Amino acid sequence: MSGLVAFDPGNYRYLPGGFQYSAAVIANPGWEIERARFARPVPLAEGFARIEAHLASVGRPPTALCACELRSPEPLVEAAFVAFNRGYVQPLERWGLYRDEANPVARCNLCPELGGLTGPSFYAFSYTVPSASKAASFITSGAAECPDRPNYRDSITRLGETSPDALRDKLRFALGDLEARFAPMGVSWADVLNVSLYTVHDLHHAMAEEFGRRGALAGGLNWHFVRPPVQDIEIEVDARAVRREVVLAS
């Protein structure tokens, strides 16, 4: 995992990822991250407008945006996922966030198994605000059972398998990938306040061994009944340390 890159207009640093999102973000000293969730997902274009308005209402510029949480109707093949991401980064480019294939904004994008969405939507977003707190404030992007690089399918752990043993191996890979992002930020599981698991599969058999032994369950576990955004990927996990969250009307 490469080192942190400063994004001074947003008052945070990020771990480089692909053009579509960074691997993680951490607030600079004197700043912390706040999270805002919509009561119900809102369509993507409306979401960007709502984000800009919310940031203005709290006295922050668009460049303060540091993480986005999306929901999509269904998993895509990788080529379609890349095409979606090319459209997604355009507003970020206008706001001065995305430049020269570098994107400081972390992200997760999941597909609710029970449906109900007609198009890509915003679920939540996060941004930096001034703070006197000395505690680490950070968010990771979702980590799955394969490296986050092109040609996902070629590297998926136990591709096409969903047996208990296969799911445990997938989860172990995802959590290992997530942990690899902690060291460059100087944090550990002890600093994490929220862990989210995104899958439609039963992973109770792996909870103690994979989450528990890492000390990852101190704050509980948020389990979302969703699928990752790319076909053939079964599991995604992320972690954050955010101390203030608000819910916005949809």
Cα–Cα dist 49/68, whole Å: 13
When pLDDT is cut at 50, 70 and 90, the band that residue 181 belongs to is very high
**Phi/psi of residue 15, each to 5°?**
-95, 120
Tell me the per-residue pLDDT of 127-172, one tens digit each, with 9 for 90 and over. Answer: 999 999 999 999 999 999 999 888 889 999 999 999 999 999 999 9
Give me the mean pLDDT over the 83-102 stretch. Answer: 97
Domain range holding 121? 5-248
Cα–Cα dist 148/82, whole Å: 13
For residue 167, the surrounding DSSP H or E stretch is helix 164-185
For residue 5, the surrounding DSSP H or E stretch is strand 5-7
Instruction: Assign residue 18 the CATH number of its domain.
Output: 3.30.1330.40
pTM > 0.85: yes or no: yes
Cα–Cα dist 70/85, whole Å: 11
Domain total in the chain: 1
Residue 143 Cα to chain centre, angstroms: 8
Tell me the per-residue pLDDT of 50-69, one tens digit each, with 9 for 90 and over. Answer: 999 999 999 999 999 999 99
